[in-house]
Amino acid sequence: MNQNDEANWDLVIEPRTRLFNLNLGEVSRYSYLLWMFVKRDIVSVYKQTILGPLWFFIQPILTTLMFVVIFGNIAKISTDGLPPILFYLAGITIWNYFSETLLSTSNTFIVNASIFGKVYFPRLVMPLSKVVSGLIKFCIQFVLFIAVLIFFLLSGYDINPDFLGILWVTPLVLFIMAGLGFGFGLILSALTTKYRDLIFLITFGIQLAMYATPVIYPVSTLSDKYKWMIYSNPMTWLVEAFRKVYLGVGDLNMYGLAYSMSVMLLIVFVGVVVFNRIEKTFMDTV
């Protein structure tokens, strides 16, 4: 083969020498593959179930009802004067996207080891597809939340949405949530590759983290002694901002959102560095 033939390769696969190397140009060329993975994630989950896509609605409804009974009726936890169903559904809708993105991304290497070992494509496409498929699921559950919100508004409840705030807070909150789930997931994916037991700890840890986030309680009910711990959680500011613009109860704090954004950017940076490093050797350990 002469030098002219070598210069006409359609694709040249080279080892990565830099840790922080996103190579977004290559990722964009495989956008069709990303959407194929997204379709697989959406369709395959409920493909052979009786109720199918209805589970996207059933799961948050059942979780909300359970929270109403346990935390609303039995524990008598305040919901800042809001209908308990609406209060809990707002928190569940926002939390589910983050938790599912983190959990699915953390399994990237283990679940897709057989694919990675057979064909080449930018490995970052796989966790990115989890972010997109999670966003689609969020949109479906968000429709349910809006329907419940409209019902209570028409029923005369004292709910004060900030329609102007909704326009800019919603995409900002989604962007930060996606980044946090994506970044934390990439970091954990490196650990689960070597230590499979961590999968169980991650699932349990996400459940515990929900109680460190104001999903089932408003921050206003906490004593000042514990507020700083809750506010150190970047997800707190996102849940509070979401509730504030949609329900009129919460805390839309620009400094808090800036803090969440800063943490997200740092986590994504560390996650990509770790992911690029483990990507070179993960087939030896999976």
Per the CB < 8 A criterion, the answer to whether 192 and 202 are in contact is: yes
C-alpha pair distances (Å), 68 with each of 29, 87, 109, 247: 47, 9, 37, 17
* Residue of 6, 39, 174, 33 lying closest to 94 (CA atoms): 174
State pTM to two decimals: 0.84
Residues 77-111 as b or e (16 or more Cβ within 10 Å = b):
bebeebbbbbbbbbbbbbbbbbbbbbbbbbbbbee
Which pLDDT belongs to residue 188? 87
CA distance 121 to 134: 21
Residues of the chain scoring pLDDT < 70:
1-27, 45-53, 109, 111-114, 116-122, 279-286
C-alpha pair distances (Å), 65 with each of 60, 70, 72, 209: 9, 9, 10, 20
Which pLDDT belongs to residue 57? 83
CA distance 218 to 239: 10
pLDDT digits (tens, 9 = 90+) for 5-64: 555 655 555 555 555 555 666 667 777 777 887 877 777 766 666 666 677 788 888 999
CA distance 233 to 17: 34
pLDDT digits (tens, 9 = 90+) for 158-174: 898 999 999 999 999 99
Q: Domain ranges for the chain, please list them.
A: 53-284
C-alpha pair distances (Å), 24 with each of 30, 109, 139: 10, 20, 26
Which pLDDT belongs to residue 40? 76
Which pLDDT belongs to residue 16? 54
DSSP code at position 42: H
DSSP string over 25-39? HHHHHTHHHHHHHHH
Per the CB < 8 A criterion, the answer to whether 92 and 63 are in contact is: yes
Which pLDDT belongs to residue 281? 60
The identity of residue 11, as a single letter, is L
Which pLDDT belongs to residue 7? 57
C-alpha pair distances (Å), 135 with each of 95, 99, 164, 238: 12, 12, 22, 16
